[in-house]
Structure 1
Amino acid sequence: MSDRPATSRVLVIVPAWNEEESIGDTVTEIRACVPWADLLVVDDGSSDGTRGAAENAGATVCQLPFNLGVGGAMRTGYRYALRHGYDVAVQIDADGQHDPRSLLSLLEPLGESDIVIGARFASKDDPYKVRGPRRWAMVLLATVLSRMAGTRLTDVTSGYRVCNRRAITVFAAHYPAEYLGDTVESLVIANRAGCTVTQVPVTMRPRAGGRASHSPVRAAIYLFRAFVALSLALVRKWPAQFEDPVAP
């Protein structure tokens, strides 16, 4: 895939924390699939060789002095995108689960929407399955945020998403760093700022490296924390209008 969107400057942001095993292959694949996009890896205080592996694969790396979490890393990426005049910012995970070959399909709706989510569960043929408390939490979050957004959303916790300049401006100043804030609360903030959201079905892949943590206990904790994150997102007051944080 190499077709470049007309007139758009695109920045792919890859938040990475201790992803030495997978980041090199992830960067190489992104560069091969979308050579017209610029690529920024935000090394979120890694203690391994994440930065070196990313740089060796050809990425620009912003290294944070300590771990801020995905939200803090992505706010850094959005501020970089805003300061350098990018029209579109793309979030792709470092672990290889997000297929960059789907990127053009996510970019297409940006003419009508400010944020496009690469959604699991949007297709009956999607092999990605989640069950139990974790699935219950995802359904709850999707139901509430669908009503807020005025459109059907099935996967509001997906980290595979693209944003236009309007959403970049909002997120550069107000992207939340709390647990699930980078997915759930960010959509609440965007909605209250007047941004429109839609989704495109994508297929997720297994992690290319590292280890994901799943257990009944962790799933129950996820459900509880999802309730807390959603409650905080809904009760917090955000201004209806945002100023460009780096405007002269």
Structure 2
Amino acid sequence: MSGRRVLIIVPAWNEQDSIGGTIAEIRECVPDADLLVIDDGSLDLTAQRAQAAGASVCSLPFNLGVGGAMRTGYRYALRNGYDAAVQIDADGQHDPRYLARLLTELGSADVVIGARFATPDDPYKVRGPRRWAMVLLARVLSRLAHTRLTDVTSGFRVSNRRAISVFATHYPAEYLGDTVESLVIAARAGCTITQVPVTMRARVAGRASHSPVKAAVYLCRAIVALVLALVRDWPAQLEEGSTAEDVEGGLPPGVHPGAAPQHQEVRP
């Protein structure tokens, strides 16, 4: 990791059956990185099993969604001076063996996406309305970012300090905002965006939420999320010299700036 301080953020909601294996695999691939699991109001043993696997855990008092969980992680990364922040899902779909490639590419961009559909032989297949939405989103965001992007809904991402400071303040919590709108925000803040081809895997545990009806709903929500992201008046860039102290109220109770990550039980 070339001496960089890297924080791996794992948002997790009711992932007790997969979180332990995900943490073990991450530790094997990037043993020098710090690992913070954001337990997003889980009702099962996600937090306990993550802690038992050796991760630091921040337990939110209720479910905020991936966007809210990731904003918590980015604010923690900013306040503790990390050089890079990585998002990996808790369900095992993101292969941490690609992390070295993503972190290497971070030297030439502010945000690096682990992207499906980047090569003709990619085994990950999405059809119907969900695929149409992904193609539309990728084309629009490619124009905005001035580079070819194929998978703007991927949650497998790496951000440098500049992007961390943007996301710590402006990361959206709305559905699909954590993927689509966050890239619009990054591009409008002057961050450069690129992608690295990766192969996604099937979930280790649990069930995917897709169905024909949900795919159609996804299409509608994706378009709405993109339109809202494009029309909102996001800042052209953060003020020069922004620091962790500029992010007020950024962490939930029990997570303190400047402290080493540790398990925190946060109760309403």
Q: TM-score normalised by the shorter chain: which range applies?
A: over 0.9
What is the identity, as a one-letter code, of the residue corresponding to 1:80? Y
Query: Is the counterpart of residue 43 in structure 1 residue 39 in structure 2?
Result: yes
CA distance in 2, matches of 1:237, 1:22: 39
CA distance in 2, matches of 1:14, 1:245: 24
What is the identity, as a one-letter code, of the residue corresponding to 1:44? D
CA distance in 2, matches of 1:122, 1:239: 30
Query: Is the counterpart of residue 116 in structure 1 residue 107 in structure 2?
Result: no
Q: Does structure 2 retain, via aligned residues, the 8 Å contact 1:115–1:196?
A: yes
The superposition leaves residues 135-191 of structure 1 with CA deviations (integer Å, 9 ceiling, x where unpaired) of 000000000000000000000000001000000000001100001000000000000
Tell me what 1:159 maps to.
155
Tell me what 1:22 maps to.
18
What is the identity, as a one-letter code, of the residue corresponding to 2:198? V
Tell me what 2:229 maps to.
233
SS state at 2:58 partner: strand
What is the identity, as a one-letter code, of the residue corresponding to 1:206? A
Alignment equivalent of 1:137, drawn from 123, 133, 139: 133
Unpaired runs of 5+ residues, structure 1, are none
CA distance in 2, matches of 1:233, 1:69: 18
Tell me what 1:247 maps to.
245
Query: Is the counterpart of residue 170 in structure 1 residue 131 in structure 2?
Result: no
Unpaired runs of 5+ residues, structure 2, are 247-268
SS state at 1:67 partner: coil
Q: Does structure 2 retain, via aligned residues, the 8 Å contact 1:138–1:155?
A: yes
Pairs aligned (count): 244
CA distance in 2, matches of 1:162, 1:182: 13
Query: Is the counterpart of residue 82 in structure 1 residue 78 in structure 2?
Result: yes
Q: Does structure 2 retain, via aligned residues, the 8 Å contact 1:172–1:245?
A: no
| Offset at residue 245 of structure 1 (A) | 5.5
CA distance in 1, matches of 2:19, 2:161: 26
What is the identity, as a one-letter code, of the residue corresponding to 2:137? L
| Offset at residue 194 of structure 1 (A) | 0.2
What is the identity, as a one-letter code, of the residue corresponding to 1:110? L
CA distance in 1, matches of 2:206, 2:56: 22
What is the identity, as a one-letter code, of the residue corresponding to 2:46? T
Tell me what 2:143 maps to.
147
| Offset at residue 40 of structure 1 (A) | 0.3
What is the identity, as a one-letter code, of the residue corresponding to 1:159? G
Alignment equivalent of 1:125, drawn from 115, 121, 125: 121
TM-score (norm 1): 0.97
| Offset at residue 241 of structure 1 (A) | 2.3
Aligned pair in 2 of structure 1 residues 213, 187: CA closer, same or farther (>3 Å)? same
| Offset at residue 238 of structure 1 (A) | 0.9
CA distance in 1, matches of 2:80, 2:146: 32
Alignment map for 1:175-186 (pairs within 5 Å):
175-186=171-182
Tell me what 2:261 maps to.
none
